[in-house]
Amino acid sequence: MFKHPLIALCGLMLLGTGTVCASQSTETLRAATMDFVGSLTADQQKTAIFALKDDVRATWSNLPTLMAPPAGLLLKNLNETQRTGVHRMLRASLSSQGYTKTSAIMWLDDVLREEAAARMAEDAEARANPFAVAMADNRDSGNYAVALFGDPSDDNWGWKITGHHLAVNITVAGDRVGFMPVFLGSNPMVVRNGPYAGWMALPREGSIGIEMMQSLTTAQQSTARIGDVVPGDVFEGPGRRASLGKFEGLSTRSFSADQLGRLQRLVGEYVGNANSVSAGAQLDAIGKSGWNNLWFSWRGPIDIDGKFYYRVHGPRILIEYNRQNENHDHAVVRDPTNDYGEDWLGHHYREFHPEMDQVMGDVRKRLGIGQE
């Protein structure tokens, strides 16, 4: 049976020193977090720190902060030392790959800001639209919020960073670190103009799915393809946990060794965003539940330049990728049994996200649009 390199690496570390390895990973994150907390003023701590079992921990969004104001402290309201501390926490929680992706997603909001400013300069009608003006002003790499849950000096605690196209939820339980749910999105998917033309925040998520689908036989593709219509978004996005009641598509029991290896590399692309210890542990959990107990499904054409959707789903992993349009994509990664470390903490969080009608109504109220 193919074993993912991260599992092999974790296995090497577990030979007599697994506890040390895990605790070193946890302690690095703990130290970075305690330094960050120590850099906050008393008022900032009141805004940023919540009880570990507060349901605000499971309330997050991939929408711009104007549309879904997040809990915690915005990066733009931190000083340089504090912002540096947040990045230390990110690097301790994620792999270099994961840190690069999350950083690039935040940076893309500055690209969107430049594009919005250029449009506003040329469009008098847009400049007269208060919503358009507010959205242009809201595009900002500083509009990402950090929140902590519990006390990082205790055994169990957590933290999250959330904002436009990004949500990373980290749980620490003893020597274990969980990193799901994760939401990643990029718009533009590929920067097409200016000095950054060609840059991508998520360079492999779309293409690795195309490669997986292309590796299937014609009969397998027919079973995997659920329909030609691409959904409007991922199904289990914020506030929609456990909305997929059953597996669908093609069972990995029919995969050849080469196809299974490809699927494991696809899963590794997503799980590998976490640091090696956490990623290795998650891949091991997937392996124990059975790599032959996963399902792969597809919607839309097999076109790297078009819109499509794919899903990998099993007892210990759910990956959804949705190409929103030709240059905009969303992805979510969940552990169906241990999001927010619920299996470790013995606590179930109520995940909430308002419907879009409520979101837009709240925006209009905040902007005073349509008010008497």
User: Minimal CA–CA distance to 258: which of 2, 6, 8, 5?
Assistant: 2
Buried b (16+ CB within 10 A) or exposed e, 244-260: beebbbbbbebbeeebb
Asked, for residue 124, whether it belongs to a domain, the answer is: yes
Report yes or no: 50 and 71 within 8 Å, Cβ to Cβ. Answer: yes
pLDDT of residue 359: 84
Tokens of 105: 């997603």
> Please, how many CA atoms are within 13 Å of residue 246, restricted to the half-sphere of its CB?
3
pLDDT of residue 13: 40
Asked, for residue 164, whether it belongs to a domain, the answer is: yes
Rounded average pLDDT per 10-residue block, the chain, 372 residues: 46 40 81 97 98 97 92 98 98 97 97 89 88 89 97 97 97 95 97 93 97 98 96 94 94 97 98 96 96 98 96 98 96 97 96 88 82 50
Asked, for residue 120, whether it belongs to a domain, the answer is: yes
Asked, for residue 170, whether it belongs to a domain, the answer is: yes
Asked, for residue 328, whether it belongs to a domain, the answer is: yes
pLDDT in tens, 177-186: 999 999 999 9
Angle at which helix 257-271 crosses helix 276-289, to 10 degrees, equals 140
The label of the residue with tokens 């980290």 reads 170
User: Minimal CA–CA distance to 39: which of 88, 90, 95?
Assistant: 88
Number of domains into which the chain is organized: 1
Sign (positive/negative) of CA torsion 12, 14, 20, 21? positive
Asked, for residue 372, whether it belongs to a domain, the answer is: no
pLDDT of residue 19: 43
Q: What range does the domain containing 289 cover?
A: 5-367
Asked, for residue 197, whether it belongs to a domain, the answer is: yes
Report yes or no: 319 and 267 within 8 Å, Cβ to Cβ. Answer: yes
Cα Rg of the chain (Å, integer):
21
Report yes or no: 84 and 110 within 8 Å, Cβ to Cβ. Answer: no
pLDDT in tens, 276-300: 999 999 999 999 999 999 999 999 9
The label of the residue with tokens 């792969």 reads 296
Sign (positive/negative) of CA torsion 59, 63, 65, 67? negative
Collect all residues with Cβ–Cβ distance below 8 Å to 310 and sequence separation of at least 6: 209, 212, 213, 296, 297, 298, 299, 320, 321
Q: How far apart are CA 102 and CA 273, in angstroms?
A: 9
Q: How far apart are CA 89 and CA 144, in angstroms?
A: 14
- Residue 39, Cα to own-chain centre: how many angstroms? 26
